[in-house]
Amino acid sequence: MSRVIFHEENGVDRPVPTLAPGQAVQDAYGRPLRDLRISVTDRCNFRCRYCMPREVYGADHVFLPRSALLTFEEITRVARIALTLGVRKIRLTGGEPLMRKQLDVLVGMLAELRTPDGAAPELTLTTNGALLARQAAALARAGLNRVTVSLDAMDDAVFQRMSDGGVPVADILAAMDAAVQAGLQPVKVNMVVRRGMNDDQILPMARHFRHSDKVLRFIEYMDVGHSNGWRMDEVVTGAEIIRLISAEFPLVPVQAQYRGEVASRWCYADGAGEIGLITSVSQPFCGDCTRLRLSPEGKLFTCLFADHGHDLRELIRTGADDAVLAAHLSGVWLTRKDRYSEQRGQAHRDNKIEMSYIGG
């Protein structure tokens, strides 16, 4: 099936440039496509205040029907094509991805994919951990490489205030250990820090994960979507976090391992491990962003703060061949100009997508 693909730019449909088979793509700022983040569901069993507050996502909230979601075969097809365009890392997200039934089957399908030079892509998953302990072994057997687990406090009361999920901290810690035992290493631990909510947990978290086999990462509270009531004065900056931890445990910076690495890395001077900082608000890293996001129902988003997506599902379900899908996907990336975090305060978007829909 052959079609000329067009991409809308400034209200005008323009033909998408064609690429040779296997040719990697770069966007308008020269950023390569390296990471594909796949949201497999918009559902979650937590109601975190910064992502999916219960007053917005209550019992009457309507989630996507199963028929709207991309099938595992459709997801795998998109991932396979993305690998030909430069993707080398695939991350499964949500919502809470482990709420998607038989996710290990999808992991197994993705694990069989290869890049044009024959390498297996890095295959990772981000989860709140509530369902991880019972699924860790199956996910590892299927081919998952590692997991990132969200945990916003060591204190149960604070954790419940943040997550509104009814799961104790001990269960999340046990799930991390189950992931380690299954070989899903290194386990990374993401803590979103919100001033006045859980900033008193920065040091307890640092103390707990020092001398462990897990890497703790602190994330600045971000203005993703419109449901979380984001305010700048509730942001605890990465610089503040470093000063606080260094006063008790001196830290030294570590050089980035690759272009597009999300977290800046710091090691404890006494050799007790490392921490990471994700500073989208205070120190934007748009210039090195290599991430493309696929929503549960098949829309491509070129930025976590985007206000619209590019539909792939319609093309897939109306019989488009791989060449057409590759042209569409590459066209989305080639015309990409997103750098919202660098323009925060200048660029205002009224309909930003929610993190619970597209993943972090």
How many domains, in total, are found in the chain? Answer: 1
What is the band of 77 on the pLDDT scale with cuts at 50, 70, 90? Answer: very high
CA dihedral 104, 32, 356, 189 (to 10 degrees): 70
Amino acid identity of residue 86, one-letter, is: G
The C-alpha atoms of residue 191 and residue 140 are separated, in whole angstroms, by 24
Q: Give ∠ CA 303-309-314 in degrees, rounded to 5.
A: 145
**Average pLDDT score over the chain:** 88
- Identify the pLDDT of residue 184: 98
Task: Specify the pLDDT at position 135.
Answer: 98
CB 202 within 8 A of CB 217: no
Check: CB of residue 241 under 8 Å from CB of residue 283: no
Q: Is residue 343 part of a domain?
A: yes
7 has a pLDDT exceeding 60: no
Average pLDDT over residues 47-56: 83
Q: Residue 1: inside a domain, yes or no?
A: no
Q: In which domain, by residue range, is 45 found?
A: 6-358
* Residue 268 located in a structural domain: yes
What pLDDT score was predicted for residue 1? 36
Non-local CB neighbours of 212 within 8 Å, separated by 6+ positions: 273
Model confidence, pTM? 0.88
Higher pLDDT, 343 or 69: 69
| Span 287-330, pLDDT tens digits | 788 999 999 999 999 988 777 789 999 999 999 999 999 999 99
Calculate mean pLDDT across residues 218-244: 82
pLDDT of residue 256 exceeding 90, the answer is no
DSSP annotation string for 200-212: GGHHHHHHHHTTS
Task: Assess if residue 297 is contained within a domain.
Answer: yes
In-domain check, residue 349:
yes
pLDDT of residue 91: 98
Residue 124 near residue 90, CB atoms below 8 Å: yes
Range in 195-199, 235-239, 303-307 the model is least confident about: 303-307
Distance CA 14, CA 233 (A): 42
Q: What is the CATH number of the domain that holds 105?
A: 3.20.20.70
pLDDT digits (tens, 9 = 90+) for 11-24: 444 445 555 555 67
pLDDT value at residue 297: 96
Condensed to tens digits (0 to 9), the pLDDT of residues 158-183 reads 999 999 999 999 999 999 999 999 99
Give me the pLDDT at residue 132, please. Answer: 98
pLDDT (average), residues 266-272: 97
pLDDT of residue 12: 45
- In angstroms, rounded to a whole number, what is the distance separating the alpha carbons of residues 126 and 152? 14
Structure tokens at 273: 């491990």
- Is position 28 within any domain? yes
pLDDT at 248: 97
Has residue 147 been placed in a domain?
A: yes
> What is the pLDDT, as a whole number, of residue 353?
63
DSSP string, 262-320: SSEEEEETTSS-EEEEE-TTTS--GGG--EEEE-TTSEEESSTT-S--EE-HHHHHTT-
Helix axes 132-142, 103-111, angle to 10 degrees: 30
Q: What is the pLDDT of residue 355?
A: 60
> What distance in Å separates the CA atoms of residue 77 and residue 61, rounded to the nearest whole number?
30
Please determine, for residue 187, whether its predicted confidence score (pLDDT) is greater than 60.
yes
DSSP-derived pairing of the beta strands 187-193 and 214-220 = parallel
**Residue 16 belongs to some domain of the structure:** yes
Return the structure tokens found at 28: 């308008």
Q: Which carries the bigger pLDDT value, residue 351 or residue 292? A: 292
